[in-house]
Structure 1
Amino acid sequence: MSALSKGEDIISISSLEKSFANEQVLRGIDFTVKPGEFCVVVGPSGSGKSTLLKTIAGVVSFDNGSIRLDGENVDDVPVEDRNLGYVFQDFEERLFPHMTVGENVAFGLHQSDESFSEAEIDEKIDEVLDMLAIGETKNSKPSELSGGQQQRVELARQLVRECDVMLLDDPLADLDYKLQKRMELEMRRIHNSMGSTFVYVTHNQDQALKLADKLVVMNHGMIEQVGTPDEVYRRPETAFVGRFIGDSNPLLGTVRETTATHTVVDTPQGDVVAEAHNGPFPDGTETMVLIRPENITIGNEAATKENTFAATVVGRTYTGEETEFSVSIGEDTEEFQIVVTGNVPLEAIGDQTTIGWDATDAIAYDTLSVVDTVTVDDLMEV
């Protein structure tokens, strides 16, 4: 691929559709990726993320739409001519069992258009294996490795090629918690040092927020929202996005009154003043109000907020960085989650307390999802 300016798109996907048998797995997919971006495609299992990645790679054909790489239509370009690095989800099947780890990684270099001396190949192998914390496996066979180690070997085999575009299908999924956290930092460092464009698929929302320059949120084969992590987290376009990305507390109700700046929602817990997303809404509109746990105040200071409720503490957990509270604000209601920084010396389990939040910290939605089959019950379970 030729070098692009930062103003151009290195990947452009338009109206992409794909069906398997009677199931449509991609429906009208539209988004672009600029050179050097770390684009994360996130969504629940079965949302079409891996299929989307395979269509970009050319592994899977599509029914309608178009894919452009480097400004060129690649609908008829075979996989081997797209010059993409691709880490598959079924990585175990991609490694050559008769080769050592070093030989498997060297195979990635042999796929490159460049010619390297044996000394250069050996140096590159050592560098990428050390970077992925598997340097000691260089002379081992894949069968001697754990699943997480095998996954990193396949990642090494692709990274060592230094392609302009890297497609990564949940490459950290099989790692233990501590190694996954370490590798998240490494993935950002690798991306920055390579300068390549990464398209990274995951169902891990926390990982998506940490890694992405651009987030593409998918659901049932459709795109719910495209934006920066901050945009997606702070201003979700649909209630689904607000429920799926990060934690949120939902309240269901009906619009009772709308002012110039806010809407008043009648809920079983009482009136809630909120911002109407893409509002104002007509009176009587059924809506879901979402409030992030970190935006809720607990204790005496809650009385100064625009929305205040009496609550009972039913759970309290100190995580080392934060204290998480679960409170009940009414009979037969979902428990509210509250997050406070630090180990705060207040509110034991069973205490009666007050919780509160400002209107700007609550967003009311009249649109649950871009997918018309998504129900309120679905979102309450997210």
Structure 2
Amino acid sequence: MTATAITIESLEKSFQNETVLRDVELAVRDGEFCVVVGPSGCGKSTLLNCIAGLLEYDIGEITIEGRNATDLSVQDRELGYVFQEFEETLFPHKTVAENIAFGLEQGGRDFSASEIDERIEEILALLSIGETKDDLPESLSGGQQQRVELARQLARECDVMLFDDPLADLDYKLQKRMELEMRSIHSSLDSTFLYVTHNQDQALKLADKLVVMNHGMIEQIGTPESIYNEPATAFVCRFVGDSNAILVEDAVSGEVGEVVDVPSEIGSIRATVQNESGSDSGLVLVRPEAIAIGATDCDVTVTGVLEGRTYTGETTEFALSVDGIDREFHVVVPDRPAVGEVGEPVSLGWNADDSMYFSTLSVTDTVTTADLIEG
């Protein structure tokens, strides 16, 4: 049985009258790449700071590699922590090598000078910035500085690494390259990674275990595949990946997994119940890639009017208007099919398995159908 690196039980944290974390329960296994994703202000960074010992929490318990965190100082927790604002953590008067050496010298292990030099060479090569060894941070690009901070923390060989959205400020191409490097680095180390981000695409690519947070609570924990394909709440489905939202004004009863007829703003449609009844209204959500254009034999068929198209190289994204819905309906199909001209009507279809009916919108009591439709 795999050991647990971090265990969080019934964690709560408030600032004045605002509860930032509420009843958080999470277990991260040794060697796991666990990503916590959620909108800005949902409590992700607060959670990391509680684990690191930078914030005291009000209620609950955190265990790090079998040790109660309340018994450990920040230094004794022996955690690597990469902040989003990495520019402020590098010493401007020290070279890249000296910055990394400082991290090694401040750790719990006693490294010899030769061991420090060897670790610096190895980690710089791993991050493809060996040529920066003797440079000062101010002479480096933002992406290089980010990798220096990663190198400084990774060189310490901490068993547990915390990452606070470290790629958020990088440009698109560098961010994509760094995502690949993060996976490569994790696979080459035995460390446990706990990584928080608001970027859903990044979370899906990086995670072994994905944790979705909202308003200080955990909405769902699972693999990226299970969360994308089997979202527990409407919030999870809307936040992780794209979806079309169809308003349901009257509650429909049914067992989870049952196909039911749902009275919606576009008429009665077939949908699969995703969770237990939670309100008098709800949403049907349909992924854009689950919709076929020109289909006539699907469980659900509607007519839309083509409003625009965007070719992305591998797929084409279509925007359509549908009677009864006052917002665009989106469809994503492979390649670049010919489906008509802008302003022309087209038929749309999808199956009941892809028509997800949610009456429980969120584990929190703050989310409304209007919030999710606008999102």
TM-score, normalising length: structure 2: 0.95
Match for residue 268 of structure 1?
Answer: 265
The structural deviation recorded for 1:21 is 2.0
Give 5+ residue unaligned stretches, structure 2.
none
Partner AA of 1:275 in structure 2: T
C-alpha distance in structure 2 between counterparts of 1:379 and 1:102, whole Å:
48
C-alpha distance in structure 2 between counterparts of 1:23 and 1:116, whole Å:
44
The structural deviation recorded for 1:332 is 5.2
Match for residue 52 of structure 2?
Answer: 57
C-alpha distance in structure 2 between counterparts of 1:118 and 1:259, whole Å:
67
Match for residue 145 of structure 2?
Answer: 150
Partner AA of 1:335 in structure 2: E
- Greater mean deviation of Cα atoms: 248-257 or 169-178: 248-257
Q: 1:187 to 1:256 in 2, by over 3 A?
A: closer
1:125-164 matches, within 5 Å, as 125-164=120-159
1:202-240 Cα deviation digits (max 9, x unpaired): 000000001001111111111111111111111111111
Partner AA of 1:15 in structure 2: S
Match of 1:211 among 201, 206, 226: 206
**1:316 and 1:348 in contact (8 A); partners too:** no
1:104-140 Cα deviation digits (max 9, x unpaired): 0111221333343433322322332233233332222
- Greater mean deviation of Cα atoms: 141-150 or 66-75: 141-150
RMSD: 1.8
- Greater mean deviation of Cα atoms: 143-152 or 27-36: 143-152
**1:105 and 1:160 in contact (8 A); partners too:** yes
**2:251 and 2:281 in contact (8 A); partners too:** no
- Greater mean deviation of Cα atoms: 146-155 or 163-172: 146-155
- Greater mean deviation of Cα atoms: 42-51 or 130-139: 130-139
Match of 1:201 among 188, 191, 196: 196
Q: 1:259 to 1:165 in 2, by over 3 A?
A: closer
The structural deviation recorded for 1:258 is 5.8
- Greater mean deviation of Cα atoms: 91-100 or 28-37: 91-100
**1:16 and 1:66 in contact (8 A); partners too:** yes
The structural deviation recorded for 1:372 is 0.5
Match for residue 164 of structure 2?
Answer: 169
Partner AA of 1:381 in structure 2: E
Match for residue 364 of structure 2?
Answer: 371
Match for residue 349 of structure 1?
Answer: 342
SS at match of 2:121: helix
SS at match of 1:66: strand
The structural deviation recorded for 1:256 is 7.5
C-alpha distance in structure 1 between counterparts of 2:252 and 2:74, whole Å:
57
C-alpha distance in structure 1 between counterparts of 2:252 and 2:196, whole Å:
42
The structural deviation recorded for 1:185 is 1.0
Alignment pair present for 1:103 and 2:83: no
C-alpha distance in structure 2 between counterparts of 1:320 and 1:69, whole Å:
45
Match for residue 71 of structure 2?
Answer: 76
The structural deviation recorded for 1:255 is 4.7
C-alpha distance in structure 2 between counterparts of 1:94 and 1:39, whole Å:
24
The structural deviation recorded for 1:318 is 0.9
C-alpha distance in structure 2 between counterparts of 1:310 and 1:176, whole Å:
40
TM-score, normalising length: structure 1: 0.93
SS at match of 1:148: helix
The structural deviation recorded for 1:331 is 5.3
User: % of aligned pairs identical?
Assistant: 58
Match for residue 27 of structure 1?
Answer: 22
Partner AA of 2:120 in structure 1: I
Match for residue 308 of structure 1?
Answer: 301
**2:233 and 2:275 in contact (8 A); partners too:** no
Alignment pair present for 1:239 and 2:239: no
Number of aligned positions between the proteins: 373
Give 5+ residue unaligned stretches, structure 1.
none
1:244-280 Cα deviation digits (max 9, x unpaired): 000011000145766783121111211111011134x
**1:15 and 1:64 in contact (8 A); partners too:** yes
The structural deviation recorded for 1:348 is 3.1
Q: 1:257 to 1:183 in 2, by over 3 A?
A: closer
